[in-house]
Amino acid sequence: MEVSFTKEVEALRLGAGETFHGEGILAITKALLQSGVAYVGGYQGAPVSHLLDVMVQAEPYMKELGVHVEACANEASAAAMLGASIHYPLRGAVTWKSIVGTNVAADALSNLSSPGVVGGALIVVGEDYGEGASVIQERTHAYALKSSMLMLDPRPELGNMVRIVEHAFRLSEASNMPAMLELRIRACHVRGSFVCKDNVAPRISTQHTMAEPAPFDYARLAHPPVTFGHEKLKSGERIPAARRYIVAEALNEHHAGTRTDIGLIVQGGLYNTLIRALQQLGLADAFGASELPLLVLNVTYPIVPDEVVAFAAGKRAVMVIEEGQPEYIERDILAALHRAGATTALHGKDLLQMAGEYTVELMAAGLASLLERHQPDVDTRPTRDWLAANVARRAEVAAQLGRAVPARPPGFCIGCPERPVFAALKLAQQDVGPVHVAADIGCHALATFEPFSSGHSILGYGMSLASSAGVAPMMKRRVLSIMGDGGFWHNGLLTGVQSSLFNGDDSVLLIMKNGYTSATGTQDIISTPDEEEKARAPDRQQSLVDRNTTIESTLKGLGVQWMRTVHTYRVAEMKKTLQEAFTTDFAGLKVIIAEGECQLERQRRVRPWIASLLKRGKRVVRVKYGVDEDVCTGDHACIRLSGCPTLTLKDNPDPLKLDPVATVIDGCVGCGLCGENAHAATLCPSFYRGEVVQNARWHERVLASLRSAIVQRLQAA
């Protein structure tokens, strides 16, 4: 990837007494090194990509420390990596986006949790939940429950987050349970500072390797009959050991408060929002001093029943603030109170919304309900008025607009090589008829939004072809499965291609070969163009990724007989190839490889290169596209076929015409799609291609002046 994390890598080197300033996710990364982690792995995905990206770029320093860093093929391989901690006193950490990544890793997690670990094992999951999330809304907590893993949810303050990471390894070792640490989007990006400790070089490391493997120990495998014993160990020894550690080290935080009649038990990650909501009610200040007693759960599984019962003792009511459904923590607490014979009333989801992100407004409404029932001396009217005013204001804005504010879905980047494929697919379907499209995870999923609205289902990352296996035999017309090269390597090769070939499925697979896992931050994959190639040809737009033929040779080796490679920007050729795949007599798997380097990554490389050319006074030519407003008919067929944000609308300069005309604004990177679409779809001839010449040669300047003078004369005439 072209993004540089030089500053972040430097921050990892900070020593004892120095102050770290920055984002939560980087603080966690530093905490791993302070904890003596020996190996780190993971699979990229928001909001935790940063952890692995920085670790990968810090490779020389990691080597110095003896820490092994593995950019894993998928989350399953990352989880399996933690197997190193089953036998050896090695501390390991892996990371991925959850819930999707945890689903992929589930098999290895079960098999890890059953024998347990001797070295601390930590999984940093990006809990992609709530506003801004990009995956299914489910909770990782379920995995901690079913596999008996620790679940940490640190209060989002950098010092506390670092403290919890350091304890996580020790807690994991004390209980033999792997630990999961969930970080919501806001926790990853919260900024702050903490005073560092020195990094700890692991005792066993790539610098100090082990001479012999561990002796054979059947109890550390994960198949029956030993697994029956493991199950008993989980409830009989490991969870009680974890509870003892949680209490001894005061991992959960108690804030006494002054109104001791009622109390709040909150997931650590929701603490900041809770304080803001309490401020609205006049029950907290900006520094977190709350009038209501708080039990902040930095560890949400296992719950310590004695701790909860002690907190509830003497209180009329306690409310559990737990985001998402179902209410796992609330049920745990309810059971603990009930078993202890406590009479304290327990509230939670009865006063708070069951699903969705807990925003300040939502929490404030729930708290107001709690106070009205159990603390009537608190005047909740200002808060109720504030909430009602917010609702009224939104309604007023909607009324003024005449309708709800239209959603603005995300779209492909300007010049994205995947956009032309969907333009070609639209055109191909005009001839062959509509086809069922099995979509996938990746940038190409942006085609599910307008103007393409393409895709019938998404079953998982790299799962499109596998998901077509049931529907394809039921369709008269062939089904199209689309996946990216990231998805292909993550899962698609085995779950999709191998299965399709084995079963002799008659299907069409389109692989977007853009060279990176672009949607997660353009991380490298095995088919990424190599650095030498990039350095040799920094400006190559359409044929840089084709130099790496790993995907093609893998498919060939597996026995794919029908395979075509088409540059994505060649819309007419792509349309023809799609039509051929849909109609050919060949009945096996047909693969189209759509080549075109990720434009975001290309621009990151090309821009500094162009700047350096300009600085050296070299001639630089940039291509731009435009629309002749006098020719544009205003039917906007080009926009419906493109969706490029720089191909937009402006007022029609012709006073006799009402429809706005198409126009290309400044951001156009000259990808050529406008021209290709105009040609492939036989659009109106209003598009033109211009060349912007910088540091032009003397004869070009003279020619330009001459042309300009002639044009001015003609215009005047």
Residues forming the site for ligand SF4 (CB under 6 A): 412-416, 418, 443, 514, 518-519, 598-600, 625, 642, 644, 646-647, 664, 668-674
- What's the DSSP call for residue 316? S
Judged by beta carbon, residue 58 or residue 678, the one nearer ligand SF4 is 678
Apex CA 357: angle with CA 355 and CA 359, to 5°? 125
Judged by beta carbon, residue 90 or residue 416, the one nearer ligand SF4 is 416
Judged by beta carbon, residue 189 or residue 604, the one nearer ligand SF4 is 604
Yes or no: say if 513 and 551 are a contact pair by the CB < 8 Å rule. yes
Q: How far is the CB of 147 from ligand SF4 (least distance, A)?
A: 34
Yes or no: say if 283 and 291 are a contact pair by the CB < 8 Å rule. yes
Matching residue, tokens 């737990």: 322
Yes or no: say if 704 and 598 are a contact pair by the CB < 8 Å rule. no
Residue 295 CA from chain centroid, whole number: 31
Q: How far is the CB of 100 from ligand SF4 (least distance, A)?
A: 18
Q: How far is the CB of 679 from ligand SF4 (least distance, A)?
A: 13
Judged by beta carbon, residue 419 or residue 478, the one nearer ligand SF4 is 419
Judged by beta carbon, residue 324 or residue 484, the one nearer ligand SF4 is 484
List, as one string, the DSSP characters of 92-141.
EEEEEEETHHHHHHHHHHHHHHTT--SS-EEEEEEE--STT--S----TH
Q: How far is the CB of 411 from ligand SF4 (least distance, A)?
A: 8
Count of CB atoms situated within 10 Å of the CB of 703: 12
Question: Token pair of 60, please?
Answer: 């020389």
Q: How far is the CB of 88 from ligand SF4 (least distance, A)?
A: 39
Q: How far is the CB of 50 from ligand SF4 (least distance, A)?
A: 17
Q: How far is the CB of 450 from ligand SF4 (least distance, A)?
A: 15
Judged by beta carbon, residue 267 or residue 599, the one nearer ligand SF4 is 599
Yes or no: say if 481 and 438 are a contact pair by the CB < 8 Å rule. yes
Q: How far is the CB of 465 from ligand SF4 (least distance, A)?
A: 20
Judged by beta carbon, residue 242 or residue 644, the one nearer ligand SF4 is 644
Question: Token pair of 421, please?
Answer: 């494929």
Q: How far is the CB of 635 from ligand SF4 (least distance, A)?
A: 17
Question: Token pair of 678, please?
Answer: 């105009």
Yes or no: say if 298 and 246 are a contact pair by the CB < 8 Å rule. no
Distances from the Cα of 565 to the Cαs of 421, 514, 572, in angstroms?
12, 13, 14
- The helix (run of H) or strand (run of E) holding residue 92 is strand 92-98
Distances from the Cα of 159 to the Cαs of 19, 95, 212, 620, in angstroms?
11, 20, 39, 50
Judged by beta carbon, residue 93 or residue 416, the one nearer ligand SF4 is 416
Give the CA dihedral 259, 263, 269, 271, nearest 10 degrees. -10
> Which of these, 10, 20, 1, 70, lies nearest to 40 by C-alpha position?
70
Judged by beta carbon, residue 162 or residue 673, the one nearer ligand SF4 is 673
Yes or no: say if 349 and 315 are a contact pair by the CB < 8 Å rule. no
